[in-house]
Structure 1
Amino acid sequence: MTKRTKLLSMALSTLLIMGTFAGCGTKKAAEGGKKIGMVVSTLNNPFFVSMKEGAEKKAKELGYEIVVLDSQNDAAKERSNVEDLVQQGIVTLIINPTDSDAVTNSIKVANDNKIKVITVDRKASGGEVTCHVASDNVKGGEMAAEFILEKLNGKGNLVELQGIPGASATRDRGKGFHNIVDKKAGVKVVSSQAADFDRQKGLNVTENIIQATPAFDAIFAHNDEMALGAAKAAKAANKKVIIVGFDGNADAKAAVASGELAATIAQKPDLMGSVAVENAIKIAKGETVAKEIPVELQLIKK
């Protein structure tokens, strides 16, 4: 082999190697262009598990990869999750906030990296959000109040179990509830306490309320987990009380059927996850989406 031939052979080998690496990079970029990130406040709640499953099903159907991370109701973990997803090269971020105020820092991480953000179920107080997907929580709170007042013939003492302080779902569901009950002369909210959307806390808080303020007729819990905890506390105290939850998860529907709960305002978390993914993909493709996208509610009663 001549010196010239050797040089040509070496040059050709170098070009082939470079082409191989370039091809890998192109493939990686293409794969990254079809990856959506999703950060969920907690997966220790059937509602958010259903939301995750709806999102994963829709992403698979549309040919996109989705990476779902659990914030464990911790704002610091939430931010860490967003930073992790940014490093993975996501094209759009879907986030279900742990707290509407605290999530601002996480959203700004995405904003700084030019990644569009969709919030789902709970709103964010700050940061640039392209789209919000949620049930009409104010309307749902009103539906719960109207049902309770109908059952009580328009008068009675009520208890409210609030969700996580600062979460938009807590504010909105409470607002809807008070929009109705505060206007009724014969109705009084005798206790309104946070139980953080948690079943065990719902049980503990209700036990304390029964001891401190035994004279009440109904409980509105901002989610089903707290409602189920409250139902257990009421049963243990042998107290007959109307209990209404919010979300429509499987345990709550079964509790309505058995009479442990009077009703639940049913959301469709799987549909919320699906709709969020559909719009995340539209955003990634440069399409315009609505600023707010409502998902319908349903009153489930026996």
Structure 2
Amino acid sequence: MKLSAVRSITTLALASLIANHAWAAPKHEIYSLMPNTALSGVIDPDMPDRTSINKALPLKKKGERLRIGWTEITLGNPWFVSMIDDAKTIAKQYNYDIELQVADSDVAKQSAQVDNFITLGVDLIVIDPTDVLGSVSDVERAVAAGIPVITVGTAPDARAPVITTSTGNPYGSGFEAGRYVAAKTDPAKVINAAMVIGVMGNSTSESRLNGMISGIVYARSEERKLGLSREDAMLKGFKLFQQVKAKGSFNWPEGGFNVLAWGRGDWTEEGGLAATEDILSSQGDKLNLVLAENDFIAIGAINALENAGKKNSVMVASGAGSFRVALDLIKQGKLLVTATNSGSETGVAAIELIHQMLDKGLNANNLPLASYFPVTLITPDNVDTYIKADSLPPSTATVPPFRSIEQIKTAMK
């Protein structure tokens, strides 16, 4: 997928996830819950400065060509393949070498790969974390050996001394997709949803689904004049999401919104199909919406609904992906919405950050733990633009600027 070449004029800045007003004490309760696996992508207005953290900067090139050790969580679906392929393409243009190893979702295997890169003496390590907590010690060992680390895909635990993480905004994309779902639903009609998540406990997974729930809550509050501010809706959605984790479901009568069940989809079509089939067996007569964490899960859910003869009675919405098959399903009216989350863009941006540090003089010592891409929805109104962009080669032209913590805070005021 090469979707980074196109950006909709409706792109939402990171700060749009937060209320657009100057911060005043006391800070809203939602921010006191951070860090939290279900709030990855929410920007804390009081995020701490990271300048004093040792990150093994500045980046130095030891030989004629920069050597990058890259440990990837998996190559199990096209999203990861496009990330690696296009990162390699851009690295070649800059005369960088990527030494790739695949961890196969094994924490111990990824840890051994990091140790191998340290022994090889690479100039920089890129980690796609198999585990947000387990990766902390891996990063610490690399930095102690004088090797800086960038993470991709999922931000590690805040203790990890990474430069930053190249990633889409999981909460933000989910939130905006949820708002869109509500806008396409009769406000008087009760939404009876099922939630199919990649893996419960993964920060990207939880944040996308929590975002989708919170976006629906915010939209329903506006439609039904319930008086919730954006931050109030974020807090309410968070609490409802926690009910799903603890009890398997929730009911919100005031908003006319229920989650009847959830299933684990493992980020794949097969997982989405199996989880949706299980949910249909118990909730099929009530269900009218499937909230799928990503495009692959959504594709599986759509297949399950078609097999059960329910494709016309149950909507499917995806929290993120922009995978080509999903774009075609939006075009056909089978998938309601997704949000940009290009594997290609994630990989290209990581290489571009390296280039800016090494060759452009970028001071990367106070970047946030995660550098999130702006959020853009893909809907029937703009899907043709993204289908056309899918055939374009990878490019750094539209990689958003890497902003320091000071710059982000200034933009939020």
- The bucket for the TM-score relative to the shorter chain is 0.7 to 0.9
Indicate how the Cα distance of structure 1 residues 29 and 143 shifts in structure 2: closer, same or farther if over 3 A, else same: closer
Matched residue, 2:207: 172
Q: What is the CA–CA distance in structure 2 between the aligned matches of 1:99 and 1:226, rounded to whole Å?
A: 21
Q: Is the 8 A contact 1:148 1:242 kept in 2?
A: no
Matched, 1:66 2:98: yes
Q: One-letter code of the match for 2:127? A: I
Indicate how the Cα distance of structure 1 residues 36 and 281 shifts in structure 2: closer, same or farther if over 3 A, else same: farther
The one-character-per-residue Cα deviations of 1:205-249 (angstroms, maximum 9, x if unpaired) are 110000011111111111111111111111111113211222111
TM-score, with structure 1 as normaliser: 0.83
Matched residue, 1:272: 346
Matched residue, 1:6: none
Q: What is the CA–CA distance in structure 2 between the aligned matches of 1:86 and 1:69, rounded to whole Å?
A: 13
Q: What is the CA–CA distance in structure 1 between the aligned matches of 2:111 and 2:357, rounded to whole Å?
A: 22
Q: Is the 8 A contact 1:131 1:293 kept in 2?
A: yes
Aligned residues: percent identity?
Answer: 26
Matched residue, 2:160: 127
Matched residue, 1:87: 119
Matched, 1:181 2:192: no
The one-character-per-residue Cα deviations of 1:170-220 (angstroms, maximum 9, x if unpaired) are 132123122223454111111223222122111111100000111111111
Task: Give structure 1 stretches of 5+ with no counterpart.
Answer: 1-27
Matched residue, 2:171: 138
- Secondary structure at the counterpart of residue 247 of structure 1: coil
**What is the aligned length?**
274
> Which among 283, 288, 292 is matched to residue 363 of structure 2?
288
Q: Is the 8 A contact 1:148 1:218 kept in 2?
A: no
Matched, 1:206 2:276: yes
The offset of 1:156, in angstroms, is 1.0
Q: Is the 8 A contact 2:87 2:351 kept in 1?
A: yes
> Which among 60, 72, 93 is matched to residue 40 of structure 1?
72
Matched, 1:229 2:300: yes
Indicate how the Cα distance of structure 1 residues 300 and 29 shifts in structure 2: closer, same or farther if over 3 A, else same: closer
Alpha-carbon RMSD across the aligned residues, in angstroms, is 2.1
Q: One-letter code of the match for 1:149? A: A
The offset of 1:46, in angstroms, is 1.0
Q: More helix by proportion, 1 or 2?
A: 1
Which structure is larger by alpha-carbon Rg, 1 or 2? 1
- Secondary structure at the counterpart of residue 63 of structure 2: helix
Does 1 or 2 have the higher relative contact order (CA < 8 Å, sep 6+)? 2
The one-character-per-residue Cα deviations of 1:3-42 (angstroms, maximum 9, x if unpaired) are xxxxxxxxxxxxxxxxxxxxxxxxx9514x6111222211
The offset of 1:133, in angstroms, is 1.6
Task: Give structure 2 stretches of 5+ with no counterpart.
Answer: 1-60, 221-254, 381-413
Q: What is the CA–CA distance in structure 2 between the aligned matches of 1:229 and 1:55, rounded to whole Å?
A: 28
Q: One-letter code of the match for 2:130? A: T
> Which among 123, 147, 155 is matched to residue 115 of structure 1?
147
Q: One-letter code of the match for 1:167? A: N
Q: More strand by proportion, 1 or 2?
A: 1
Matched, 1:193 2:263: yes
Matched residue, 2:289: 218
Q: What is the CA–CA distance in structure 1 between the aligned matches of 2:143 and 2:213, rounded to whole Å?
A: 35
The offset of 1:280, in angstroms, is 2.6
Q: One-letter code of the match for 2:363? A: T
Matched residue, 1:13: none
The one-character-per-residue Cα deviations of 1:237-273 (angstroms, maximum 9, x if unpaired) are 1113211222111121122223332222121221221
Matched, 1:301 2:405: no
Q: Is the 8 A contact 2:62 2:123 kept in 1?
A: no
Q: Is the 8 A contact 1:159 1:191 kept in 2?
A: yes
Matched residue, 1:18: none
Q: What is the CA–CA distance in structure 2 between the aligned matches of 1:114 and 1:153, rounded to whole Å?
A: 57
Q: What is the CA–CA distance in structure 2 between the aligned matches of 1:132 and 1:56, rounded to whole Å?
A: 18
TM-score, with structure 2 as normaliser: 0.62
Q: What is the CA–CA distance in structure 2 between the aligned matches of 1:82 and 1:41, rounded to whole Å?
A: 12
The offset of 1:153, in angstroms, is 2.0
